[in-house]
């Protein structure tokens, strides 16, 4: 009997416990886990007390072209720096104003023009605690007010000029009677000028302080005669202030000699505008970099593999080689189409006989070179692939109309220009159906009307060597150089003989002084040259010893990846 009573009591206790727990759970505010009401209340209180951005902080950052919690600067930071820090964007919106990269995980949108940030936008939730009237109370009336409306938004934009360089924009819902004091939707810090535009201003100021002799020197890419600094090179630097120096095979004996020679020239040029140092490093049979380096394949072999990634990495190798020795200009890649099998000068220097193939691989090679901060030079405009003679020895003649050139030869050049080509080399070719009198390197029709105006090239135009027999057998080098500058060329290459260089510079000066060439025309070219030197941060700093083993390892890694 006692046992039964005990069981009944135990059952009642269990039942009461269950009922008690049910009522405890159902009663609000009782025995809740950290994910329920008590924590929600604490979280709300935490959010309400959490420090927010202040208007003064935002305005102060905007003075430096920045937004809070983001390391980039409008008008200065480049796209590749953003990608390195934030990765590829989740979405890219292309507009007529800029390309906008969206990073929702960072609460940031970034606008680019020509790969430079021009607009930094923050959508951070802390901004939403700032309201319309607070902005006006703190900053006063904006310099400008704009409105934006679409199917999703009806917004007001308050624009404040924080300084000469930057604007700060506050974007909010448009105030209404029902909601007169809306909160901020996002802010935008906009660069009034990009770094490139600031450089252009700097270039203009630099140009104003240059003498005519200094300007004319920048128009010359000079060859040197020896393997070490001589009195002739000192005169080219100090008396004529040449803008660039090309190394030919007779200037190169070993890696250490080449580096020492370049360092000597740079040291001698310390007080002048930094020099271009150029070399032909195409790969294949045109590879002038010295040392016991692993052989590089020809462009034709690369064309047969037809892999864009290979071409980019190959261009990267070319850039590394050139940079390691102290050069900053590579006269490559070749964009000629090998359409004439009897062509004696192009052949395996071309990627092939198909314009699309040459475009694709040539552009990737160009970008690979640029990736190493080396200036690539696309050549030989308007196309040397359908010639039957070598312009080193004779003047080639191509009897093609503009329409025929547009259907073949011009395609890779136009595509490369659209993809950011910096320098174009003009060939010595006579195209009588375009210009009966002058070859392309002296032709205003080819350089100004075709290359600049029709194809839209705004970079630096350089001639092929004016001491080649295509020129010297038919023209006086002095007259040819003057005609070339008049036609729109920026840089005359005189790759051989000190006397030729001096004569060309003197003839250009005489032409300017006589009014045959205006100084404004000279300024156009010098401006393009200085901008390019600034873009690639060309300077007179010395070069360190070359590690041939490391270069060979990098070459081998790339070739093994794609050719084995």
Catalytic residue numbers? 392, 464
Answer yes or no: are the C-beta atoms of 166 and 62 closer than 8 Å: yes
Identify any residues that bridge with 283 across adjacent strands, giving them in sequence order. Answer: 286
CA–CA distance, 311 with 293 (Å, rounded to integer) = 19
Tokens representing 41 are: 């209340």
Cα(311)–Cα(335) distance, integer angstroms: 13
Phi, psi (5° rounding) for residue 480?
-65, -40
| Short-list 467, 296, 462, CA closest to 379 | 462
Cβ neighbours of residue 39 under 8 Å, at least 6 residues apart?
32, 33
Could you tell me whether strands 116-122 and 108-113 are parallel, antiparallel, or unpaired per DSSP bridges?
antiparallel
Burial of 480 (0-12, 13-18, 19+ CB in 10 A): buried
Task: Please give the C-alpha separations between residue 350 and each of 22, 359, 412, 559, in angstroms, as whole numbers.
Answer: 84, 11, 11, 19
Contact (CB, 8 A) for 75 and 111: no
Written as one string, the DSSP assignment of 292-307 is SPPPPPPHHHHHHH--
DSSP H helices in 379-497 = 402-407, 410-418, 444, 469-472, 477-487
Beta pairing partners, 103: 108
Burial 29-46 (b: 16+ CB within 10 A, else e): eeeeeeeeeeeeeeeeee
Which residue is associated with the tokens 């360190």?
A: 544
**How many Å apart are CA 171 and CA 251, to the nearest integer?**
62
Residues 56, 47: contact at Cβ < 8 Å?
Answer: no
* Phi-psi sector, 488: left (phi>0), alpha (psi -120 to 50), beta: left
How many residues appear in the chain? 564
Q: How far apart are CA 429 and CA 415, in angstroms?
A: 21
Alpha-helical runs (H) found in 274-401: 299-305, 308-324, 355-371
DSSP for 191-203?
Answer: ESS-HHHHHHHHH
- Return the HEC string of 145-176: EEEEECCCCEEEEEEEECCCCEEEEEEEECCC
């Amino acid at each position: 009997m006692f046992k039964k009573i005990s069981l009944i009591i135990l059952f009642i206790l269990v039942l009461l416990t269950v009922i008690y727990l049910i009522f405890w759970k159902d009663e609000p505010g009782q025995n809740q886990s950290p994910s329920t009401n008590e924590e929600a209340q604490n979280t709300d209180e935490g959010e309400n007390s959490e420090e927010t951005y202040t208007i003064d902080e935002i305005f102060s950052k905007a003075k430096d072209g920045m937004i809070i919690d983001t390391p980039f600067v409008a008008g200065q930071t480049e796209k590749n720096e953003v990608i390195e820090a934030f990765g590829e964007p989740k979405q890219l919106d292309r507009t007529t104003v800029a390309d906008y990269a969206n990073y929702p995980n960072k609460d940031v949108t970034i606008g680019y023009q020509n790969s430079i940030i021009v607009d930094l936008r923050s959508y951070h939730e802390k901004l939403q605690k700032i309201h319309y009237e607070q902005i006006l109370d703190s900053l006063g009336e904006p310099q400008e007010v704009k409105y934006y409306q679409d199917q999703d938004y009806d917004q007001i934009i308050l624009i404040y000029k924080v300084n000469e360089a930057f604007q700060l924009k506050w974007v909010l819902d448009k105030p209404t009677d029902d909601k007169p004091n809306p909160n901020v939707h996002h802010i935008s810090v906009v660069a009034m000028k990009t770094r490139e535009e600031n450089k252009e201003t700097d270039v203009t100021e630099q140009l104003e302080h240059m003498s005519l002799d200094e300007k004319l020197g920048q128009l010359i890419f000079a060859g040197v005669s020896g393997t070490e600094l001589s009195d002739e090179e000192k005169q080219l630097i100090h008396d004529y202030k040449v803008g660039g120096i090309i190394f030919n095979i007779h200037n190169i004996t070993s890696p250490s000699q080449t580096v020492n020679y370049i360092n000597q020239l740079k040291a001698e040029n310390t007080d002048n505008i930094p020099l271009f140092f150029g070399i032909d490093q195409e790969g294949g049979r045109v590879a002038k970099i010295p040392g016991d380096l692993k052989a590089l394949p020809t462009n034709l072999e690369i064309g047969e593999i037809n892999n864009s990634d290979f071409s980019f990495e190959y261009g990267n190798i070319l850039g590394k080689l050139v940079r390691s020795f102290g050069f900053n200009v590579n006269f490559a890649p070749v964009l000629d189409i090998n359409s004439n099998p009897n062509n004696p000068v192009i052949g395996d220097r071309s990627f092939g006989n198909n314009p699309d193939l040459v475009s694709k691989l040539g552009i990737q090679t160009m970008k690979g070179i640029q990736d190493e901060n080396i200036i690539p030079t696309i050549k030989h405009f308007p196309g040397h692939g359908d010639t039957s003679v070598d312009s080193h020895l004779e003047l080639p003649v191509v009897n093609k109309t503009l329409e025929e050139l547009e259907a073949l030869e011009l395609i890779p050049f136009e595509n490369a220009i659209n993809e950011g080509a910096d320098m174009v080399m003009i060939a010595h070719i006579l195209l009588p159906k375009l210009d009966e009198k002058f070859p392309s390197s002296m032709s205003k029709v080819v350089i100004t009307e075709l290359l600049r105006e029709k194809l839209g090239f705004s970079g630096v135009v350089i001639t092929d060597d004016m001491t080649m027999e295509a020129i010297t057998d038919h023209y006086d080098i002095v007259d040819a150089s003057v005609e070339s500058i008049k036609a729109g060329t920026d840089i005359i290459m005189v790759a051989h003989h000190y006397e030729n260089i001096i004569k060309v510079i003197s003839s250009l000066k005489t032409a300017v002084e006589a009014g045959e060439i205006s100084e404004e025309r000279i300024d156009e070219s010098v401006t393009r040259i200085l901008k390019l030197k600034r873009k690639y941060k060309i300077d007179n700093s010395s070069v360190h010893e070359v590690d041939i083993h490391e270069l060979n390892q990098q070459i081998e890694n790339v070739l093994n990846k794609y050719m084995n």
